[in-house]
Structure 1
Amino acid sequence: MLYQIASFLLDVIGGLLTGACLLRLYMQWQRVPFSNPVGGLVFALTDWLIMPLRRVIPPMGRWDVSSLVAAMLVQLVQYALLTLLLGAGSAWAWLPWLALFGLLRVAVSGLIGLLIVYAVLSWIQGGRSPLGDVIARLCEPVLRPFRRVIPLMGGFDLSPLVALVVLQVAMIVLGHLQASVMR
Structure 2
Amino acid sequence: MSVLLFLLDTLFFALIAACLLRAWMNTRRIRMTQQPGPFVMALTNWLVGPLRRVLPRRLAQHDMDMGSLLAAAVLSLLYAVVLLALVGGLSAVMGLVGIPLVAIKMLLRSAIQLIMLLAFVYAILSWVQPQAPVMHLMGRLVEPLLAPIRRVVPLIGGVDLSVLVLILLMQVGLLVLG
Query: Is this a same-fold pair by TM over 0.5?
Result: yes
Deviation at 1:80, TM superposition (A): 1.1
String of CA shifts for 1:30-81, please: whole Å, max 9, x gaps: 1111110210001000001100000011425211111111111111111211
Q: Match for residue 65 of structure 1?
A: 66
Partners of 1:89 and 1:111 in 2: how far apart?
31
Give the letter for the 1:55 counterpart. R
Q: How many residues align?
A: 172
Q: CA, structure 1 residues 136+61, in 2 after alignment: closer, same or farther (shift >3 Å)? A: same
Q: CA, structure 1 residues 80+126, in 2 after alignment: closer, same or farther (shift >3 Å)? A: closer
Within-5 A mapping of 1:31-42 = 31-42=29-40
- Percent identical pairs in the alignment equals 41
Q: Match for residue 105 of structure 1?
A: 109
String of CA shifts for 1:88-144, please: whole Å, max 9, x gaps: 233322101110111000000100111011110000014231x22211110000000
More displaced, 45-54 or 147-156? 147-156
Q: Match for residue 116 of structure 1?
A: 120
Q: CA, structure 1 residues 104+128, in 2 after alignment: closer, same or farther (shift >3 Å)? A: same
Q: CA, structure 1 residues 114+8, in 2 after alignment: closer, same or farther (shift >3 Å)? A: same
Do residues 143 (structure 1) and 141 (structure 2) align? no
TM-score computed with the length of structure 2 as normaliser: 0.91
Give the letter for the 2:38 counterpart. G
Partners of 2:155 and 2:88 in 1: how far apart?
54
Partners of 1:89 and 1:33 in 2: how far apart?
41
TM-score computed with the length of structure 1 as normaliser: 0.89
Contact 2:81 2:90 in 1 (8 A): no
Partners of 2:63 and 2:117 in 1: how far apart?
24
Give the letter for the 1:97 counterpart. L
Partners of 2:130 and 2:67 in 1: how far apart?
38
Deviation at 1:165, TM superposition (A): 1.0
Q: Alpha carbon RMSD of aligned pairs, Å?
A: 1.3
**Structure 1 segments of 4 or more deviating over 6 A?**
none
Contact 2:32 2:38 in 1 (8 A): yes
Do residues 53 (structure 1) and 56 (structure 2) align? no
Give the letter for the 2:32 counterpart. F
